[in-house]
Structures are given as C-alpha cells and as structure tokens.
Chain A
C-alpha cells in the first residue's frame, strides 16, 4: 500500500512540554486513518503540523516526496492545494454567507460569482445540504450544518488528502452519525486519503486504520475493523475507557498523589 503521508520522528515543544515527542507514522493512501487519544494529547497539534499550520520543533512530514516541515508560506500554498483541513468548529467566516464561505478560494482568485455558483451548488449537494442554505450566514446554521459547510468548503479545492479535526465534537449521536456517513461517502466517492482526529469510538466502523497517540508518540497502529480484538494494552484500555492500565488516567494521577 502506497503511503500518502510519512511522519518521521516529529517533535513539537511548547514551553517545557513536548506535545509531540517523536511521532512516527505512515498514513496509507486512499484510506481513512483515525488518530485517537486522550484530550490534551496533542492530536490537533499533530494534525496542524501535518498541514504546516504549526511548524514542528524537529522531524519530518513528507507528502508526495516533499518535506513540508520547513516550507515557506508560498511553498505551503502548494501543500494546501493537495491537502484540505476540516476544522473542529468549522471555522466559517462569520461575515460571509454559505455561498461565499464555500466559494471563497475561487472568488478570491478572481473567478466570477456566476461561474462559482454551480461549483458551490455541487459541493453543497455532496454534503447533503439544500440550496436554501446558500445565502444563510454561519450564525443561522446548526452545528452539524456548519461542519458540513466546512467540509464543502474544503472540497472546493479538490484535495487529495482531507484532515478532519474532531468532526463530531459537540454533536448529538444522530448528527455525529450523519457526519461519519458523509466522511465515509467522500472517502468512497472521491478516493481521497482521510485522517480523522476523534474521541468517538463510532469512528472504528468507518476507518480503515487506527493510530493511538499517547505521551506524544504513536503507541499503536493497526486495522480499525479488528481493534476490539486487539490485545495491545494501550488500545484495550483506551477503547473500553478503563482507568487501570498503562495509560495514566486522572484518577490514577489522583491516587498516586494522595
């Protein structure tokens, strides 16, 4: 299986704390890889290092033979044309309506609104949103709709890789299910490589691979479909939500301390 993203000994330090402490991971092309881990483990920081929004302290992120860890702003634009990023809370621009948000890349490149409109409509249909929403502002949309608009906006650039930062956070189980289905559809239809940061065990139904991030390193990488049979102690503890095991829980910390 070809590798879409190669992460080699990636390290990132904030103050005295190593958020990424030697991450090594090969993300297979055309598949969905879920990165799981406890809150505050640096999953979002890892994702932002993959796309170049955060520069690592050391290490390499190789996409199609280019090490993006040390690229200039202009060179990063080439990366952004291949890699799309769906933000945790969608990060839609408040002052723009749905049409302008989705079509912003094309509109800002000088394309006329008339030419952009059919493209935006097509992407809106892909994320199962009706055209009634085109001229609504982000404040008029529900959380799930915003995330779908965020995904549609990413799709406009026709990326080969889509990075999802906790796409179902803050959503009810039904809407979360819809978002998962949507991500899976994108995966199947567009044959893109997807990397999903998630806390939701539901993601295992849709992902091909799972990577567990713990203390700044990948402690486990394996098939998502067989994850419940895994005897890896980290995975075993994490997916079952156990407090006892190699992953230090707040409770263990509390017990150790007092």
Chain B
C-alpha cells in the first residue's frame, strides 16, 4: 500500500468521523434548544394537549391491541415452557413482569413511533418544503415554541400513559388465555403477580417509556424540521425518522434496563 492510498483512507475515515460528530452535535443542540425554549418561553398549553391527543389518545386502539395480543401470546409460549417443569403457577408473574418491564414500554414506543413519530416528521417536513416554517419565522413566531416543544413534551408525558394501558391489557390478555383457554387457576395467576411484581418494576417501565416518548418526538421533529428536497425529501425524512427512532429505542432500552437495575 503506497502513501497516497494510506492518506486517502485516513482522509476518508477523518471526514466520515467529523461528519458523524457534526450530525450528532446538531441533533443534540436541537434538543438543548428545545429545552431552553421550554424554560424561557410560555408553554402553549392548548398545543400541548392537542399533541397529547394526536400522539397518545389517537394511538390508544393500536396500543391496547398490541399489548393485549402480546400478553396472550406470551402466556401461551410461557405455558409450553413451564408445563415441562411443572411451573404453570408462575405464568402470571412472568407475563406481568415481561409486559411491565420490557414488552409494554418497548412495543408501545415502537407502535407510537410508527403511527405518530412518522406523522410528526411528515407534517413538519411538509411545512418546511412548502415554506410554512419560513412564513412562521417572518411572522415573528418562535418555531420551536410553536412546533417543536409541544410535540416533544406531549410525547414524553403521554407515551408512559399509553404504556400503562399496554401493560394492563397485556396482563389481562395473559389472564384470558391462562384461565379460559389453558384452564389454569385464576387464583394462581393473580397470586403470582401479587407475589413477584413490585412497584419498582412498574416505575422502571414507565421511566423507560417516557424516555422512548422523548426519543420518538425528538427524532420526529428533528428530521421534519431539516427536511429538504420536495415530496421525495419528506418521504426520505419520514423513513429515516421511523428507522432511527426504532433503532434508538431498542439500543436505549438495553442501557436503561442496565441503569434501572442498579437503582
């Protein structure tokens, strides 16, 4: 390998690394700016509630369905395993812990990303390419206060609420399968949950889902705000938003689980 090739490779690595750092920097500063605006300007309460409705309440059906059926499948799968070792009485605890600690927060985060995160990017992206965001600026309206902060805050608040429903319906789904399909004792199901599920499990699940809510709205608004290139650009930004949010939710989930374990 000659000197020119080595220089080229090092150049390429350097440029890629710097570009990645710049992107991460912009992305971080976007959230920092949103937080700064949240604490230095008046919160648009009506917009906050409107966004909580759009992101959360309108996702209720899909969240409940996801939670319910996941709990049902989880109960069925657990039964197959526990039956082999004679531990059917623990199915309730396993389903509840799984739904509360992991599946509820993660699946709700992913479902709301697909439904509301993509909509946030598409809406703000369309506003960007049709010059509506520029128009807001010329009309002396703080675009972060008007568009970004209500969405990020609403998502951070409402996603844990939706997660609570996913957890609840997951546990109910598990109960239906255990009691009405597998003919197990309802008392075993209830008591195992009472014995093994702690308040800290629920708290951990809700903390995680709050972070997931922040992530999906942060990425959704960021990708929308910096959309370029017409209708195709909106499509690309929306896809990137969903892929990045979903990936980041799954990665963050590991680190949050590790962190919450130590609390």
The chain A residues found within 8 Å of chain B, CB to CB, are 48, 51, 53, 76-77, 80-81, 83-85, 87-89, 91-94, 104-105, 108, 153-154, 157
Contact = CB atoms under 8 A, between A and B. Distances in A.
Interface stretch (B7-15, B86-94, B136-144, B215-223): B136-144
A77 B131 contact: no
B211 to A, nearest CB: 29
Contacts of B130: 89, 91
Contacts of B191: none
B146 interface: yes
B231 interface: no
A89 B129 CA distance: 11
Interface string B118-129: 000000001100
B192 to A, nearest CB: 49
User: Which of under 10, 10 to 19, 20 to 34, or 35 or more describes the interface residues of B?
Assistant: 10 to 19
A89 B138 contact: no
Contacts of A92: 132, 135
A80 B134 contact: no
Contacts of A85: 134-135, 138
Interface in B101-127: 126-127
B140 A80 contact: yes
**Considering the complex of A and B, which 8 residue pairs feature the smallest CB-CB distances, nearest first?**
A91-B135, A91-B131, A85-B138, A105-B139, A80-B140, A77-B140, A87-B131, A91-B132
B141 A104 contact: yes
Contact of A80 (B127, B139, B146): B139
B131 A84 contact: no
A77 B136 CA distance: 11
Interface SS of chain B: helix, strand, loop or mixed?
Answer: helix
Nearest to B146: A108
Contact of B139 (A76, A88, A89, A157): A157
Interface of B: 126-127, 130-132, 134-141, 146
Contacts of B126: 94
Nearest to A105: B139
Contacts of B127: 93-94
B140 to A, nearest CB: 5
Contacts of B140: 77, 80-81, 105, 157
A108 B140 CA distance: 9
Given A85-B134, A87-B135, A94-B127, 17 more contacts: A48-B134, A51-B138, A53-B134, A53-B137, A53-B138, A76-B137, A80-B140, A83-B138, A84-B138, A85-B138, A87-B134, A89-B130, A91-B135, A93-B135, A108-B141, A153-B135, A154-B138
A48 B131 CA distance: 11
Contacts of A51: 138
- B130, B138, B139, B146, most chain A CB atoms within 10 A: B138
A9 B140 CA distance: 28
A231 B132 CA distance: 41
Nearest to B33: A73
Contacts of A76: 137
Contacts of A89: 130-131
A153 B140 CA distance: 12
Contacts of A108: 141, 146
Contacts of A93: 127, 132, 135-136
14 contacts: A53-B137, A76-B137, A81-B140, A84-B138, A85-B138, A87-B134, A87-B135, A88-B131, A91-B134, A92-B135, A93-B135, A94-B127, A104-B136, A157-B140
Nearest to A93: B132
A88 B130 CA distance: 10
A94 B141 CA distance: 16
- B135, B136, B139, most chain A CB atoms within 10 A: B139
A87 B133 CA distance: 11
Contacts of A91: 130-132, 134-135
A80 B135 CA distance: 10
Contacts of B131: 87-89, 91
A112 B137 CA distance: 21
Contacts of B138: 51, 53, 80, 83-85, 154
Contact of A94 (B132, B137, B146): B132
Contacts of A157: 139-140
